[in-house]
Amino acid sequence: MRIDRRVAGPVVATVLGGALLTGCADTGTGGDPAEISASPTDDAEPTPDDSSPTAEPEDTSPDATAEPDTGTDAEEAAATPGTWRYDETRESDGTLRTADIDSEAPVDIDGGDDPAVLTVAEHSVHGGEAWLDLPAGSIDCTGECTVRVTVDDAEPLELPASRDRDDEARLRLGRAEEFYAGLRTAATVAVEVPVSGVGTVQVSFRVTGFDPEHFPGRA
């Protein structure tokens, strides 16, 4: 029987080609299909995106390296501004500017609970003044007396003083400019007030926050 070589040649080539392809697929894998690497189209876990890091939870624990608060209650109280009230009045003989502040605690003279009031004043003609008003009672200072005034922790000042002619509960302080000079940069001021039938009463004021700009003749 005669074989047509034009047909047999391509058939053999096809068979051999398939065998060669099979051999290439097995190369490097030991012929084990389980060891064949997955193709890009196989299912696989996604690779994490390093460009979007996961936010770490905020650390709310106390800072062990922070320095403890060494301030005292007394220092904090002294640094708290008092409430100053400012006023300006036009009078027939000039302009009166005043600043007043309440005492830190009520002054119990007759069982009441009202504060005393400290006032510093500047008159455009008559100059500076300073006085203290009690909520009740009578100043025991007929004519002139001496009162002790303590500014912060300094040695007490002994200032001349007198009871007001028209208001028995008002104590007028002498050497007002000296008193004002200490007051404007002070934190606390304490005045020992002589009161009839009671004795000496110490009245304290927290004067931090005083604004000398309200007194242009003294600023």
Q: Say which residue, 55 or 215, is predicted with more confidence.
A: 215
- The CATH code of the domain at 78-213 is 2.60.40
pLDDT at 219: 55
Quickly state the pLDDT bin for 111 (edges 50, 70, 90): confident
Q: Say which residue, 121 or 78, is predicted with more confidence.
A: 121
pLDDT at 187: 96
pLDDT at 72: 54
| Residue pLDDT, tens place only, 56-65 | 555 555 454 5
Q: Is the pTM of this model over 0.75?
A: no
Quickly state the pLDDT bin for 183 (edges 50, 70, 90): very high
Percent of the chain with pLDDT over 90: 56
Residue 1: partners with Cβ closer than 8 Å, 6 or more residues away: none
Domains in the chain: boundaries = 78-213
| Residue pLDDT, tens place only, 123-153 | 999 999 999 999 999 999 988 999 999 999 9
Quickly state the pLDDT bin for 54 (edges 50, 70, 90): low
pLDDT at 165: 94
Q: What is the SS3 string spanning the chain?
A: CCCCHHHHHHHHHHHHHHHHHHHHHHCCCCCCHHHCCCCCCCCCCCCCCCCCCCCCCCCCCCCCCCCCCCCCHHHHHHHCCCCCEEEEEEECCEEEEEEEEECCCCCCCCCCCCCCEEEEEEECCCEEEEEEECCCCCECCCCCEEEEEEECCCCCEEEEEEECCCCCCEEEECCHHHHHHHHCCCCEEEEEEEECCCEEEEEEEECCCCCHHHCCCCC
Q: What Cα–Cα distance (Å) separates residue 123 from each residue in 77, 85, 89, 178, 207?
A: 32, 17, 10, 16, 21
List the single range of 10-14, 67-71, 72-76 with lowest mean pLDDT.
Answer: 10-14
| Residue pLDDT, tens place only, 30-51 | 444 444 344 444 454 555 555 5
Mean pLDDT (whole number) for 52-79:
51
